[in-house]
Chain A
Amino acid sequence: MPLLKVRNVTKRFGGLVAVDDISFEIRHGETMAIVGPNGAGKTTMFNLINGVFLADEGQMIFEDVDVTHFPSYRRAHLGIGRTFQIPRPFASATVRENIAIGGMFGAAGSEVNVDEALEMADHYIELIGLTPHRDKPAGGLTPIEKKMVEIARALAMKPRLLLMDEAMAGMNPTDIDKMVEFLKDIRDKEGIAIVAMVEHIMRAVAGLAERVLVMHQGAKLVDEPTQEALSDPKVIEVYLGKPAEEFHA
């Protein structure tokens, strides 16, 4: 049984079809990338999966539960976590409080009280290496630190599916490698399925994702293993006819 089943989902804004009749599945514990140029409908797809938008047509089933009409907080309770492209930590709350908020309201939220969530937060703070900043307001951190706080906050939610919006944008190659290792580690230890959204098929995708869903103008172009996608003529066509190898850099 797949973790998430997306069946013929469509989303329109006025006359514009942002997501056009898309179907795919996400399996337990796999890593997948949703790839596509700017405007391909990736962000809308993300927002549909975690309930920021509701689908106009189609159906979404998360572990046997029909979540098509669920608001985002109920999907979070079931185990869908999310990070944003531009990190959005709660600025006035400390790093510890930010991460604890994920713990106390996420999938495990009903069984976790405030004190337990704060203790849990300490574990994640160590994991992301921000212990010296534990009691500082998150608003004052650097962008990379904010991103780490946000990932920790999402992990503290104990998700079974983690959606990462341009997780590695703006990072240098060394940081990307570190992040890939970090995410692989998380996936293997906690059995979380990770769906990363990226603009280009680059080293991060190749290193992390087992499977790639390429979107083009709101529709699904291909859904296949990463290596095949990299040499798929349809994918190359979308990226202005350039050979996919260029995007490895």
Chain B
Amino acid sequence: MMRHLQKYSPILPVLLAYGVLLGIGLAYPGKWQLIAQLAFYCALGQAFNLFMGMTGYVDFGYVAFLGVGTYGMAVSIYFLYDKGLGIGLIFIGLALAAVFSTGLSLAVGAVALRLRGAYFAIATIGVNEGFRYFVEGARIWNGADGMIFSRHLRKAVGRETAMTLSTQWADILVFGVAVLAAILTLVYMRNKVGYALTALREDEDAAKVMGINVTKFKIIAFITSAVLAGLLGASAWALKLTYVYPEDVFEIHYTVEAIIIVLLGGAGTLLGPIVGALIYGASKYFLAIVLPGFQLLIFAPIIIVIIVLFPEGTVGILKKKIRGTALEKFII
């Protein structure tokens, strides 16, 4: 039992980080929006890392999973608001978000996960745009006009609850997604999935020869990462904003942000995405004040610098430094 607990001790710094963030947010309501934004980046980074960091494959169309998740929540509220489901709408919305993102990840994965390296990246690069144009072109769910459902939400759960849902619970749900992503990452790392992913990231052919069904494990990581993204979209975008436009939720810049966060913190590590998200989120917040509009111009060259000079990222470097010390048990 003790040993079992020890195996999962690296979750402690993660929970501590989220606890502190949440505490600051609750203590200083004026900073709640900043905290919520940081939590969003943490969740985004951890969900993205679960696939990119652990497999070494990069999905340039990742934001599409957030997009369809947003639609999952939107569809639930927009079409079912008068069925007397009350707060149950939110759970149906989350479930739909998970279903939509699983569906999309299966469709994309069926093609892309058969392909290696560069071809995988090529297969994913159009997913977000392709899906956006599908929604607009086939006029699905109002097409390019999007869906505005604040009125529906108010009718379903009442004005007060609707308000609390989008100003507080949406952000708390984001924290929930972030914690869930961290727990899943650690559970994978400590089980066969994690070992299989490490092996295939290092050498896919050798991994196969070792008896690893690489396609199966890639699919597991891909779907998990996609569902987390779907839940994130459902809470951070749909529930919080109570509207959805295809051109917003399939916007490639969120994929860029996810890449920056994971690389800054350290791909394939547990704590990395949190560190990356805090560095990125905080600098973006201050840059928006000091140099509005320059964030990406500053961060894009930083990605290149990291790739060339520090491919392990912050936590990767830290892990090397603390090898052999007591901290090793907690920071992975």
Query: Chain A interface (Cβ within 8 Å of chain B)?
Result: 50, 52, 71-74, 76-77, 82, 84, 88, 90-93, 97, 100-102, 104-107, 109, 113-114, 153, 157
| Closest-CB distance, A63 to chain B (whole angstroms) | 16
Structural contact, B211 and A73, CB atoms closer than 8 A: yes
30 A-B pairs with CB atoms under 8 Å apart are A50-B209, A52-B208, A52-B209, A71-B208, A73-B209, A73-B210, A73-B212, A73-B213, A76-B210, A82-B209, A88-B205, A90-B203, A90-B207, A92-B202, A101-B196, A101-B199, A101-B210, A102-B211, A104-B195, A105-B195, A105-B196, A105-B211, A105-B212, A106-B211, A107-B211, A113-B192, A114-B190, A114-B191, A157-B210, A157-B211
Q: Taking A52-B205, A93-B202, A97-B198 as contacts, is the C-beta distance between A102 and B210 under 8 angstroms?
A: yes
Within 8 A of A (CB), among B132-167: none
Structural contact, B209 and A90, CB atoms closer than 8 A: no
Residues of chain A lying within 8 A (CB to CB) of residue B207: 90
Residues of chain A lying within 8 A (CB to CB) of residue B190: 114
Which residue in chain A gives the minimum CB-CB distance to B3?
A: A115
Q: Taking A104-B192, A114-B190, A114-B192 as contacts, is the C-beta distance between A72 and B198 under 8 angstroms?
A: no
| Closest-CB distance, A154 to chain B (whole angstroms) | 8
B97 at interface, CB cutoff 8 A: no
B206 at interface, CB cutoff 8 A: yes
* Distance A109 CA – B216 CA, assembled complex (angstroms): 15
Q: Taking A92-B202, A114-B190 as contacts, is the C-beta distance between A72 and B195 under 8 angstroms?
A: no
| Neighbour of B211 across the interface among A77, A88, A93, A114, CB < 8 A | A77
| Closest-CB distance, A234 to chain B (whole angstroms) | 33
| Closest-CB distance, B90 to chain A (whole angstroms) | 37
| Neighbour of A73 across the interface among B192, B202, B203, B208, CB < 8 A | B208
B174 at interface, CB cutoff 8 A: no
Within 8 A of A (CB), among B183-237: 190-192, 195-196, 198-199, 201-203, 205-214
| Closest-CB distance, B256 to chain A (whole angstroms) | 26
Closest 5 CB pairs of A and B: A76-B211, A105-B211, A90-B202, A88-B206, A72-B208
| Majority-rule SS of B interface residues | helix
Q: Chain B, interface size: which category?
A: 20 to 34
* Distance A155 CA – B132 CA, assembled complex (angstroms): 51
Residues of chain B lying within 8 A (CB to CB) of residue A50: 209
* Distance A84 CA – B199 CA, assembled complex (angstroms): 15
Q: Which of A74, A102, A105 has the most CB of B within 10 A?
A: A105
| Closest-CB distance, A150 to chain B (whole angstroms) | 9
Which residue in chain B gives the minimum CB-CB distance to A104?
A: B192
Residues of chain B lying within 8 A (CB to CB) of residue A104: 192, 195
Structural contact, A109 and B211, CB atoms closer than 8 A: yes
| Neighbour of B198 across the interface among A52, A84, A90, A153, CB < 8 A | A90
Which residue in chain B gives the minimum CB-CB distance to A79?
A: B211
* Distance A201 CA – B191 CA, assembled complex (angstroms): 44
Structural contact, A101 and B209, CB atoms closer than 8 A: no
* Distance A113 CA – B206 CA, assembled complex (angstroms): 21
Q: Other than the known A90-B198, A101-B195, what 8 A-B pairs have Cβ atoms closer than 8 Å?
A: A52-B205, A52-B208, A74-B213, A88-B203, A93-B202, A102-B211, A114-B191, A157-B210
Structural contact, A84 and B206, CB atoms closer than 8 A: yes
Residues of chain B lying within 8 A (CB to CB) of residue A82: 209
Q: Which of A73, A88, A106, A107 has the most CB of B within 10 A?
A: A73
Structural contact, B209 and A97, CB atoms closer than 8 A: no
Q: Which of A72, A109, A113 has the most CB of B within 10 A?
A: A72
Residues of chain A lying within 8 A (CB to CB) of residue B191: 114
| Closest-CB distance, A88 to chain B (whole angstroms) | 4
| Closest-CB distance, A76 to chain B (whole angstroms) | 3
Residues of chain A lying within 8 A (CB to CB) of residue B201: 92
* Distance A50 CA – B208 CA, assembled complex (angstroms): 10
Which residue in chain A gives the minimum CB-CB distance to B312?
A: A92
| Closest-CB distance, B6 to chain A (whole angstroms) | 12
* Distance A77 CA – B216 CA, assembled complex (angstroms): 15
| Closest-CB distance, A141 to chain B (whole angstroms) | 14
Structural contact, B211 and A100, CB atoms closer than 8 A: no
Within 8 A of A (CB), among B53-85: none
Structural contact, A97 and B195, CB atoms closer than 8 A: yes
Structural contact, A72 and B202, CB atoms closer than 8 A: no
* Distance A242 CA – B39 CA, assembled complex (angstroms): 73
Q: Which of B190, B195, B212 has the most CB of A within 10 A?
A: B195
Residues of chain B lying within 8 A (CB to CB) of residue A107: 211
Q: Which of B203, B205, B211, B213 has the most CB of A within 10 A?
A: B211
| Closest-CB distance, A195 to chain B (whole angstroms) | 14
* Distance A84 CA – B208 CA, assembled complex (angstroms): 13
| Closest-CB distance, A245 to chain B (whole angstroms) | 36
Residues of chain B lying within 8 A (CB to CB) of residue A91: 202
